[in-house]
């Protein structure tokens, strides 16, 4: 017999996260690139900071954990990507550094708007925080996301990630 009453309304699924996290839900960053892309990054940072679950604060050239940058590369590992995040973590699963690259020419080729690019930046910052790809169609962590901002499920996942220790769950 089918349990027809089990799930009358589609539920937003939880945004997944990985083993790695920062020591605290707070990192320092530096941003490079054009005034346009610095605005894209700042808008994405404000959105994450507004969730109250994680804070990106400006660092200095000498002291920062996260580098936010852009590139006009289009091929090799960047083929058809809008953005990419490289993170490094110690053997204790604690992040030590992360670098985000927004791929300007690829986004131009697909006619990304300003807000599409902000959503890509929000998605990449989600990876910086420690979130993984979600299959929830409202999540900022949907693979290839360009339309979604940060959802309640995304913010809740960050809260959950930083309430529990790094490493295998
Ligand atoms: Zn991604």
Is 21 among the domain residues?
A: no
CA 144 to ligand 1 center in whole angstroms: 7
The C-alpha angle with vertex 128 and arms to 114 and 102, in degrees rounded to 5, equals 35
The separation between CA 92 and the C-alpha centre of its own chain, rounded to angstroms, equals: 21
The boundaries of the domain holding residue 97 are 26-161
Over residues 101-151, the pLDDT tens digits come to 999 999 999 999 999 999 999 999 999 999 999 999 999 999 999 999 999
CA 91 to ligand 1 center in whole angstroms: 23
- How many structural domains is the chain composed of? 1
Is 39 among the domain residues?
A: yes
Over residues 54-98, the pLDDT tens digits come to 999 999 999 999 999 999 999 988 998 999 999 999 999 999 999
CA 92 to ligand 1 center in whole angstroms: 23
For residue 115, the domain's CATH number is: 3.40.390.10
Q: Which residue is it, tokens 């089918």?
A: 2
Is 37 among the domain residues?
A: yes
Is 16 among the domain residues?
A: no
Is 169 among the domain residues?
A: no
Closest by CA position to 15, among listed 147, 164, 127: 127
């Amino acid at each position: 017999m089918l349990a027809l009453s089990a799930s009358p309304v589609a539920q937003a699924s939880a945004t997944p996260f990985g083993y790695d996290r920062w020591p605290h839900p707070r990192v320092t960053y530096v941003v490079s690139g054009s005034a346009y892309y610095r605005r894209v990054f700042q808008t994405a940072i404000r959105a994450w900071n507004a969730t109250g679950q994680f804070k990106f604060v400006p660092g200095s050239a000498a002291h920062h954990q996260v580098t936010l940058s852009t590139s006009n590369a289009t091929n090799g590992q960047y083929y058809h990507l809008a953005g990419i995040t490289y993170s490094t973590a110690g053997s204790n699963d604690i992040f030590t550094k992360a670098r985000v690259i927004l791929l300007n020419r690829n986004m131009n080729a697909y006619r990304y708007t300003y807000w599409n690019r902000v959503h890509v930046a929000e998605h990449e910052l989600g990876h910086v925080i420690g979130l993984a790809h979600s299959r929830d169609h409202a999540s900022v962590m949907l693979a290839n996301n360009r339309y979604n901002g940060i959802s309640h499920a995304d913010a809740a996942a960050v809260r959950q990630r930083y309430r529990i220790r790094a490493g295998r769950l």
